[in-house]
Homo-oligomer: A and B are copies of this chain.
Amino acid sequence: MSDKKIILITNDDSIEARGIHFLVDCVKDMGDVYVVAPESPQSGQSSAMSVNKPLRIKEIAGYASAKAFTVNGTPVDCVKLALHAILPRRPDILLSGINHGSNAGNCIIYSGTMGAVLETCMLGIPSIGYSYLSHSPSADFTYTKPYIELITREVINNGLPKDICLNVNFPKGELKGLKVLRAAHGHWSEEYKEYIDPHGKPFYWLTGAFVNEEPDADDTDHYWLSRSYVSVVPSRPDQSAIDTIPEISEKLEKA
């Protein structure tokens, strides 16, 4: 058996996105790369999985430095099927991205990119999501490469703390350094554009801008991204708020 590492790569922008090709190029010399990505864009799919439809796997030719497959589902579907039916063994690392668009702040909760990362993290596989603060399909990822190499190599060699994955975001342009941070809290404003259809009935299309509720907090990702630093947010799939159990127990168990 080869002792080469197995690197599983997925994303939520689909197999055709420039970001996933760039990511493959960054890490192709670190192991055997398997790309298992959605056949169509899956932005905003969070940890959604396909419960009520058949899934198919299609092998894709033309990736020089990776075996490549598509799945007709979400990023979580891709990862689950990769483990179930594609990979020769459990992968040594899962990489997701590079996402065309930010997953900083609360965005992680909607992110298909990070949905895949949380999925493999729950299985004990070291997992990293990479996102870039531009939605442009022709985004220039050049400056991200040394950081992707550094972070990926560190995690392949030394792993991550138990039950922890990484949410890495890159600002546009030249980079001043890297900071390990927490996610900034915020919300979206003006979330829908409203239209009237030809029959006079309204419909709504999601839009909106992120409003950072703590712009001065220098321990957050948004703060340093706006200052040209790479942000790394260690993230935990388990959302149990253990610190609040005594207070809530006092109110509900004794009521």
Contacts and interface: CB of A to CB of B under 8 A. Distances in A.
Contacts of A43: 51-52
- State the number of copies, please: 2
Nearest to A40: B52
A200 to B, nearest CB: 13
B81 A255 contact: no
Contacts of A106: 122, 237-238
A15 B229 CA distance: 46
B236 A239 contact: yes
Contact of A252 (B123, B150, B239, B244): B150
Name, among A41, A49, A123, the residue most crowded by chain B CB atoms within 10 Å (CB to CB). Answer: A49
Interface stretch (A1-9, A28-36, A157-165): A157-165
Contacts of A195: 54
A99 interface: no
Interface of A: 41, 43-57, 74, 76-77, 80-81, 84-85, 106, 108-110, 115, 118, 122-123, 150-151, 154, 158, 160-161, 163-164, 166, 177-183, 185, 187, 191-192, 194-195, 201-206, 232-242, 244-245, 247-249, 251-253, 255
A196 to B, nearest CB: 11
Q: Is the interface of A mostly helix, strand, loop or mixed?
A: mixed
A224 to B, nearest CB: 11
A199 B199 CA distance: 43
A135 to B, nearest CB: 11
A77 B247 CA distance: 32
Which 6 pairs from chain A and chain B are nearest by CB?
Answer: A182-B240, A180-B249, A46-B47, A48-B48, A46-B46, A54-B203
A74 B164 CA distance: 28
A17 to B, nearest CB: 15
A115 B54 contact: no
Nearest to A77: B206
Nearest to A246: B180
A252 B180 contact: yes
B234 A244 contact: yes
B203 A55 contact: yes
A154 B54 contact: no
A1 to B, nearest CB: 24
Nearest to A105: B238
